[in-house]
Structure formats: C-alpha cells, structure tokens
Structure 1
C-alpha cells in the first residue's frame, strides 16, 4: 500500500502521485454536516410527527445518541487508519478476510451509487419545476447534472469541498430561517404529547430512534476522505462529533418549531411539512424558495456520495480487490481519476433504469449491516496486541453498544418493513458473492497483514 502524500499540488516529475492532504478542519466539519443535512429532513419531520406526535423532538435526540455510538467508532477508526477505502479498509485490517472485505466495500458502494442516481433525478425534477419546463425530459437534465458532479470530483478534492460548503451553507440557512420565523410560536404546543396519549416509554423511544436514525448518517462519507485530510488524527473526530452535535441542535429546534407552528396531526398530513410551516409563519416567502433549497441539498448529497464511491473504489483497488488501474492518481489534480470515471457508466445505467427506490431501501439494510461489522472491527482492533492507537480512542463499550444498536435496527427493519427491500438486499449480496467467485481477487500482502 502506497504511503499517503502530505503535500498538496501536482506530484513532482518521476514521483508516483498519491492523494494530497489538503482538507482542513472546517472543511471536514462542513463535509460531515453536509452529509447529514440532506433533503430528507424536509419530509422526515412530517413522518416523524405522525408516529411521535409533538414529542418528535425527543425522537431526534434519542436517534442522535444511538447514531453517535457508531459515529464515535468511525471517528476512532478514522484517527487510527486515515486511508481511502473506509469500511472496506477497516474490515480487511480487522479480520483479514478478503471475501468479507469485498462484501462490505461493494455494499457501501451500492448504497452510494443508488443515492447518486436517485438524487440526480430529484435535482432534475426540481430544476424543471423552478424553470416551469415540465415538458423537458427529466432524464436529460439528470444526466447533465451527473456529468457536472463527475467533473467536480475529477477536478479536485478542494473543488468538491468548496461546492459542499456552498450547498451546506444554503441548506443550513434554510433550516435556520424556519427556526427564526417560528420561534415566536414556541410554547404554544405540549412538547410531550404523543399520538396514543400514553406518554413516553421505551417503545416510543425505540420508534423515534428507528425513524430518525439515518438523519445523522454522514460519518461513512467522512472516513473515506480521511487520507486527504490534514492531521486526520485530530480533525476527523472533530468533524464527525462536531457535525453530529450541530445537526442535533438544528433537528431539535426544527422539530419544536414545526409542531409549534402547525399542530402535529396537520403536520403529519402535509405533503411538504416545512413548506407548510413557512406558509403559516412566513406567508411572504415565495413558493419557489424551498424548491431551490431542495436542489442544493439533494445536489450536495449526490456530490458527497460520488466522492465516497470513488475513494472506496480506489481503496479497494489499492488493496488488490479490484483491478490495479482503478488505484491510479492523476499527477496534476491528485484525484483517483480512473476510479471516478469508471463509476460514470454505472451511474448512467442506474439513472436510465428509472425508479430505483426499492434499491435505495435495500442498500439501507446493507448499510446497517456494514455499521455493525465496523463496530465489531473496532472491538477486534482494540484488543489486538501491538495495534497502534489513534488520536481519538473510545472505551470498548462504545463500539459494543454501537454494534447492538445497529443490529437491532437491522432486525427491526427486516421484521417490520416491506419484504421487497430485504429480498433485493439478499439479491445484491448474492450478486456481490458471484462477482467474487468469478473474479477471485488477490489481496495484496500488505493488506492481508493489515
């Protein structure tokens, strides 16, 4: 495995180019926060209100605690092993089982690619709404947007970071505006009122955690760019933990504002919950405002997932699990350009496939399984004699509890969700296993040794 570069800028002549460490602490924080503040919060508030009533703010708080366990594990692992490849790199180091590493890596990649394809279509549909050009085929706009995202990722990690900061600023400003116009209404609702009127118990808290857990997921994106961060032993934990805390404050304030302005029963029935809040608290705001913010939020999600998938592909190729050519780094731009371009035809095919909502739901199940594996991996590495410590260490009960929480959420989704998502998840795993059997990848000796 090549030694990560420290300097930024083009690689000197005759020197094999590597990824450049150029991401600062604020950029890493914004990157993690941008991965969390997707467009999902704008619809999630309504669904959560239907299940949790006016106490939906408590659901976000419980979900943050549950997600923070895994977030802390990722922060610790990222400070120990700041290398591209994320969960795949960690899995190989902990278990030295190429098949398991292959499954974990491709499961995360499937999640990222399905997200990029879905968000590309959503961006296209919202742009056409803003322009009033519904007659234009959305597929054309979606493919054009995908090419722009691919170009940004190819251009450089700094360009991707600055675009993320712009998008994160816009989506954060949208949420802060909702809070600002709604604060005068605070105190008008009973924030402990639940739909069944039976109060808040363990079942209620579990429902809240299950509903809102994925509003805090962003650490998988962050660990995949750890190799490009300056002083990742310090900045990566700061980015993950800081972003989770800020997101929690925003989500709780949004939840309190929403049920204070719109009664929770009406909020649950509203097609656009936060748009309904703004219509009542700030009727002067033009209707296109939140459509525009949605474009920024969804575009940001697509960009971050493209970056994650490209670094994951690059890291697995460097381990020997994928063709060596995918581990190439552009001498001038210092980006994994071959891996980035290799993803493009796959994404085009997914966009042309149409509605891949079931695929996205299936990859959510795979992500929960991956989070469980990563938490267990940290337990293994913590107990291994001679394993180097990171800049941020957590006690063993943290990854143990994280593994239990993610495992419980996975079992709950399997037991209560639509059968099609688990079936498709099983089919994806079968396809991944078939790919391993056909390709028989050879892991490098260094990767085998961890």
Structure 2
C-alpha cells in the first residue's frame, strides 16, 4: 500500500500536532475491523458464555448481532457525517455538547483500555498451556512490547500485518469446519437444535441475555473502524461501508463457529472454563487441531491487540488534541512516525494490568463501556438528523428515529443484563470520569473544550 505524504502544521509552535496519514481503503478498513473483532474471538469467552447460557452460545450471538446491526448502522450514518478520529466521543460531543461527549468518550475508553488486556491475557493462557515451562507473564510482557513498537512505527505496518493474520485465521476456520463435520459424521447422533435449545443446565431467556451482553465485546471491530476516519481514503464513503460489512461478516462467522463448536462438543464440562476451546479442538481434531488452533488464535489475539491499541491511542489523541486530556502529552504526533507515540506508550503501560485480572471480569467491563458508547451513538443519530438538521417525512422518521431507537433499546436491554458487580464498577468509572471533567472545567464553571472538526 503506497504511503501518502503527511501534512504537518506549518506553525512551529504546534509541532507534533499534524494530521494523520490517509492511507486506508475499504478492504484495509474491513480487514482492520475483522482483525479487531478477531473471527476466533468466539472462543475467547466460549467456556464462560456456554456455562452462562446453558449451551446456547449461537442463540446468544444471534441476539447480540441483531442489536449490533442497528448500532453499526448508526455508526455508519454518523461516520459519513463526521469523518474524524474520536468515534463515539466525536459523534456524541458534536450532537449533545462537549460535556456529554466526554462522558461517552470516557465510557469508550473503558472498553478500549481493557480490550488489549483481554488479548494479552489469552495469549498468556494459551501459550502457557502449550509451553508450561514458561510462565504466562513472559508471553504477556513480550506481546505488549511487540504490539506497542508496531503501533509506533505506523498504521500502514498494522494494516499489512492484519492481512497475514486474517489469512491464517481463515485457513484455520476451514480446517476446523472440515474436521468438525468429519468428527460428527462418525458419531451418527447429532442434535442440530441443541445449540439453540440448550443442555438444561441454565434454563430461561434471562441467561441467554446475560450471555449476549458479555458477547458484545466481540463486535467492537466496527466501532474501531470509525476511529480511523482521519486515516481513510474518502472516509465519508469508505468508513460507513466498512463498518456495516465488518459487523455482518463478523457476526455470521461467530454464529457459525459457535454452532459448530457446540455440536462437536455438546457439553459445558471443561477442564478449564477460560480455555474451554481446547476441549472443543481436541474433540474435533485431536492434538493437530489443538496446536493449529493455539497458533491461529494467538496470532489473532496479537492482531486484535495491534488494532485495539491503535484505536484507543487515537481516541486519546483526539481527546488530548481538544484539551480534555493534557494536550502536551496526548494531543501530539511523533514528527518522525506521525503517530501518537505517547498515547500508544500509555496504553502499553495500562495493559500491564493483564497480569492481575481475570478473563470473565475484563470481558464484562469491556461490554459495559461498549454498550454505553453504543447507546450514545444511537441517540446521536436521532439528535443530529432530526433535531439539528431538521429531517422530516416518513422515510426520515424510519431512518433516523425508528431504526436507531430500536438499536438504543436493544443495547440498553443488554446493558441491564450484565452482572451487578460489573454495573457497580462501571458506574464508579463513570463517576470518576465526571469528577475529572469537573476538575478540568473548574467545577463546570468553564466550558469543556471541543474538537476542532475542521482539522
């Protein structure tokens, strides 16, 4: 992919605050979203959600995809109107004001800061299982250093690495499907309805909703695409298209993989619930598939860490550029690499918390932040198009009220399905963010700085 010449601010007093490179087309953006989502992320919380839903992971994914399709459409609409870095933060602050925009951005930071931790944690879990003589923290630390360096070098290097990772996962998916179908054919007894009816260990639709709420973290890829608007070619057309394509493609892959996995291994009796996928792989293809899965999954986790760290660093850059976060630290680009180096390094440091947290907790916290941001974007569509732009008529009401309204209701339903512990800690995070905003604005006596959307 050819590099474009970067545009920098001619004012020497603003050195390091130039513009991001416009180097990404629709294929690269879709690839970025799919790698961020990680097609194999279905196995990240597979054991956990299998237990929660009583063996109904595919059904939970259907519900989550339904909610995410409406929300992805809202992101696409807003991305077409506001092709700038910042994602839900940008959309909400432009629609509802800088203060509410900050709260949405603060919630979004929660899932973006925690998502790299999930990837580093599972890298440690699976590589430690493959090489038990080496402690998991060694793998975690190595991955953090490698990912941080690649992100500092630039977004084009990340895009190129994504292509290789997607190819490896595609080959694994085909292999898993072939071996899984072959294994089931030899049993002679396959209940195709079981992944939707469950195994009886956790009855009730509430359990499916609780599982669906956790699975929201799987769909963060389309949101990540919107954070690269300032690095996309023709962002008003390419970013919306990539958002929808990545969401639908990723969701269908999740449903099919989880459906096949539960047919191959129709049980929630795992040796280790965090690495329950290994039991599925052993049942489908023995040691060969287990080794292949570990390699492909770790590669996918590295790719997701690459893209998630790239996204959160750009959100920090957007919030720093407008002065909500310290501008001198977060709002600067490296003169050499034209990437937000200090913001990227900060994410790497925070990711070290992966050494001290558990997978289930991180997964729910990521979903909490994501659902808050998703809800805000759905409401932003209504505010921006109906109230601010004055769109009228039946078509406008359907497009800019009914559809985003459905998306908002579905995300709110999923949000209330999270565990009480997650809701409590998430609300504490929002209170901390509001407190920081009060500090920045001197007790709300000063206006909250806003992004200069003309940049």
The TM tier, using the shorter chain, reads 0.7 to 0.9
Deviations 1:280-307 (A, max 9, x none): 3323616433222231122222222211
Counterpart for residue 296 of structure 1? 299
How far, CA to CA, are the matches of 2:121 and 2:287 in structure 1? 30
Maintained 8 Å contact 1:92/1:448: no
Maintained 8 Å contact 1:143/1:351: no
Evaluate the alpha carbon distance shift between residue 445 and residue 437 of structure 1 in structure 2; reply closer, same or farther with a 3 A threshold: closer
The equivalent position to 1:412 in structure 2, one of 409, 413, 417, is 417
Counterpart for residue 235 of structure 1? 238
How far, CA to CA, are the matches of 1:430 and 1:284 in structure 2? 48
What are the equivalent positions in structure 2 for 1:89-108 lying under 5 Å apart?
Answer: 89-96=90-97, 98-108=98-108
Evaluate the alpha carbon distance shift between residue 334 and residue 120 of structure 1 in structure 2; reply closer, same or farther with a 3 A threshold: same
Evaluate the alpha carbon distance shift between residue 113 and residue 105 of structure 1 in structure 2; reply closer, same or farther with a 3 A threshold: same
2:158 counterpart of 1:160: yes
Evaluate the alpha carbon distance shift between residue 156 and residue 442 of structure 1 in structure 2; reply closer, same or farther with a 3 A threshold: farther
Deviations 1:290-327 (A, max 9, x none): 22223112222222221111110111122231222222
Maintained 8 Å contact 1:120/1:146: yes
How far, CA to CA, are the matches of 2:287 and 2:116 in structure 1? 34
SS at match of 2:286: coil
Deviations 1:145-171 (A, max 9, x none): 212211111111111112222223323
2:127 counterpart of 1:122: no
Counterpart for residue 341 of structure 2? 337
How far, CA to CA, are the matches of 1:155 and 1:115 in structure 2? 21
Deviation at 1:124, TM superposition (A): 3.5
Counterpart for residue 255 of structure 2? 252
The equivalent position to 1:280 in structure 2, one of 266, 275, 283, is 283
Counterpart for residue 137 of structure 2? 139
Deviation at 1:433, TM superposition (A): 1.8
Evaluate the alpha carbon distance shift between residue 9 and residue 202 of structure 1 in structure 2; reply closer, same or farther with a 3 A threshold: same
Evaluate the alpha carbon distance shift between residue 334 and residue 58 of structure 1 in structure 2; reply closer, same or farther with a 3 A threshold: same
Maintained 8 Å contact 2:382/2:400: no
How far, CA to CA, are the matches of 1:17 and 1:291 in structure 2? 41
Q: TM-score, normalised by structure 2?
A: 0.82
Bigger Cα displacement from structure 2, 209-218 vs 427-436: 209-218
Maintained 8 Å contact 1:124/1:142: yes
Deviation at 1:442, TM superposition (A): 5.2
Counterpart for residue 3 of structure 1? none
Counterpart for residue 109 of structure 1? 109
Evaluate the alpha carbon distance shift between residue 301 and residue 387 of structure 1 in structure 2; reply closer, same or farther with a 3 A threshold: farther
Maintained 8 Å contact 2:364/2:422: yes
The equivalent position to 1:379 in structure 2, one of 382, 402, 406, is 382
Evaluate the alpha carbon distance shift between residue 364 and residue 250 of structure 1 in structure 2; reply closer, same or farther with a 3 A threshold: closer
Counterpart for residue 361 of structure 1? 364
Evaluate the alpha carbon distance shift between residue 439 and residue 166 of structure 1 in structure 2; reply closer, same or farther with a 3 A threshold: same
Counterpart for residue 33 of structure 2? 32
SS at match of 2:288: coil
How far, CA to CA, are the matches of 2:50 and 2:123 in structure 1? 26
Evaluate the alpha carbon distance shift between residue 55 and residue 314 of structure 1 in structure 2; reply closer, same or farther with a 3 A threshold: closer
Maintained 8 Å contact 1:359/1:421: no
Deviation at 1:110, TM superposition (A): 2.3
How far, CA to CA, are the matches of 2:22 and 2:126 in structure 1? 35
How far, CA to CA, are the matches of 2:258 and 2:359 in structure 1? 29
Maintained 8 Å contact 2:176/2:289: no
Bigger Cα displacement from structure 2, 110-119 vs 266-275: 266-275
The equivalent position to 1:400 in structure 2, one of 401, 405, 426, is 405
Aligned positions, number: 429
| 5+ long unaligned stretches in structure 1 | 1-5
Maintained 8 Å contact 1:60/1:248: yes
Maintained 8 Å contact 1:32/1:218: yes
Deviation at 1:91, TM superposition (A): 0.9
Bigger Cα displacement from structure 2, 333-342 vs 218-227: 333-342
How far, CA to CA, are the matches of 1:163 and 1:107 in structure 2? 29
Deviation at 1:51, TM superposition (A): 5.9
Counterpart for residue 312 of structure 2? 309
2:429 counterpart of 1:423: no
After superposition, the CA RMSD in angstroms is 3.4
Counterpart for residue 82 of structure 1? 83
